[in-house]
Amino acid sequence: MKKIIIALIILLISANLFAQKLERIEPMFWFAGMHNPKLQLLVHGDNIAASRISLSYPGVKLVKVNKVENPNYLFVDLELSSTVRSGTFPINFTVKGKKVFSYSYELKNRDKSAGRIQGVTQKDFIYLLMPDRFSNGDKSNDVVKGLAETALNRDSMYYRHGGDIQGVINHLDYLKDLGITTVWMTPEIENDMEKASYHGYAVTDHYKIDPRYGTNELFKKYVETAHAKGMKVIKDIVHNHIGTGHWFFKDLPMKSWVHQWPKYTQTSYRDQTVMDTHASAADRKKMLDGWFVPSMPDLDEQNPYVQNYLTQNHIWWIEYAGIDGLRLDTYPYNDPEYMANWAIKLKAEFPNLSIFGETFVSGVANQAYFTGGNTVNRGFDTHLPGITDMAVKEGIYEALNGKNGWTDGVNRLYDVVAHDFLYKDPTLNCIALDNHDMSRFYSVVNEDFDKYKMGLALLLTMRGIPQMYYGTEILMKNFSNPDGLVRSDFPGGWDGDKKDKFIVDGRTNKENEAFNFVKTLANYRKNSAALQKGKLMQFVPEDDVYVYFRYNTQQKGTVMVISNNTEKEKTLNTDRFAERTSGITTAKNVISGESISIKEIKVPAKTTLVLELN
């Protein structure tokens, strides 16, 4: 009897050893010729740690197999030689010398085609959209069985509406005609959450496009189609957090994969604690390590495995799809040292890649603190080229809605721009009037069409990279409380919509006037060296009129911007602007096309004039 029991125990142990099941390897493939020779594979499967791994391929060295707390994971360190060639090779998994299974791993050649990974600069005009709310190009993926959320309800702002990547592809010509050069979608990767999964910021699979938007292959086609039309693509990525539905959150590799607290602790959202020389360590930790919201666990970016996973994932997407730039969500909440190292590694692989971080903070100094080159204050370089310039947005709002005073009204905008000395290069900042988290611009100016045009003129002529939120060109409106109202569907993006705002006949006269105003200025920017790469010179506002110039060293095509936010017409004597107007007598109104004398310029009430000096 004793022998039978022992035999059964041995049998059970043996069965357990051979119970491994490979769930996934990430990255699922890689690329030969990368600057960094190191590659760390995340291997996940039932009791995978009981396996022994072996491989043999010229130029690929198996350095180390790392076991962690959870036996369902292995982290495999590889080193790729500079001469390694593309091809496939088996990664073998054995237990007690017996092969259990193998994974055919592929190294692909890097795509060095012209026009890939171009970077985004002041030459560009970015269009931000939410794919779920822009256009439904493929009804077959509206509801995907097996996902946590299958509700499709356009009558609710918090359920999915069915927009997708194909819908964006279908309207790239509309955007190009408008003068858009770059498209930025809120995150497209899988958000398999029970509700409100449409926004994209609660990732559940880093390597997979959400099937309700399309496939990885379709995303790559979207980038290639945009490039073929002379347009660029920005990808929105999230370092700081994931969704609770993420496959690896349901089976954590180790406790330190996410920030752990004795009880649920939410971030304080106080970015000041990161820069405050008087801040307590506890306050700083709460800001950086607290969870964004209960449904979004906070990743521990001091964990080297987490660092490798995120960095490799972003490199993979850029090389796979040929993306031109990245927008980094919730930048101030990330581990500062890791983010600096991350930026160095990405720029080493993609020198032309553009990066800007979301800094939803108050004040120019707070924003500048996070940008690259600010080593005196930080003690290290963040290597972050640009940020989302909320201070300029607030300055424009005050210039449009405020009452002029020493530091109020139009003087606020002048003051904000005067603080550009805090940046290494303020032209790399992304400037905008609104986005998916804010009240829409047209509503903020109380649907005042004159102020609307003033704001757009300032946006498209100010230093930095201009970004416009979808629907602004057709006067879409609403406030951010509740948030869903600023995320309404673009009319005409769905079959059966009563109005199609993508076409002239579907828009009202005022909507067409707004569309054409944006189109005229945006397409003018495409051929204006002064707006694309020129310097900025501003003058102290006088008599409530703000004037600045965009110019280059040759002084050809200098652009003069005059903003009068008052209720009265102003007559501007230009003698004080001789530094930029010397020898020039006439100018062309960019919007109307008329030629005017610049000796004295009549500036209508509530108007921003954009003049090209002859």
Residues 6+ apart with CB under 8 A from 155: none
**Is there a catalytic annotation at residue 358?**
yes
* 127 vs 44: CA distance, rounded Å: 38
**DSSP-assigned letters across all residues of 355-405:** EEE----SSHHHHHHTSTT-HHHHSS-----EEB-HHHHHHHHHHHHSPP-
**Is there a catalytic annotation at residue 594?**
no
Q: What ranges make up the beta strands (E) of 451-599? A: 465-469, 535-542, 545-551, 559-564, 570-573, 586-589, 595-597
* 409 vs 390: CA distance, rounded Å: 16
* 38 vs 89: CA distance, rounded Å: 17
Two structure tokens written together for 234: 């920005």
Choosing from 124, 300, 329, 349, the catalytic residue is 329
* 489 vs 264: CA distance, rounded Å: 35
Choosing from 164, 300, 335, 358, the catalytic residue is 358
* 519 vs 606: CA distance, rounded Å: 20
Q: What ranges make up the beta strands (E) of 86-178? A: 87-95, 98-109, 126-129
CA–CA distance from 591 to each of 454, 465, 486, 606, 607 (Å)?
12, 20, 28, 15, 12
How many beta carbons lie within 10 A of that of residue 53, not counting itself? 17
Please report which helix (H) or strand (E) contains residue 448, including its range: none
How many beta carbons lie within 10 A of that of residue 528, not counting itself? 23
586: β partners: 597
Residue 295, CB-side half-sphere exposure with 13 Å CA sphere: 13
Strands 325-329 and 232-238: parallel
DSSP 8-class letter at 484 = G
Catalytic residues: 329, 358
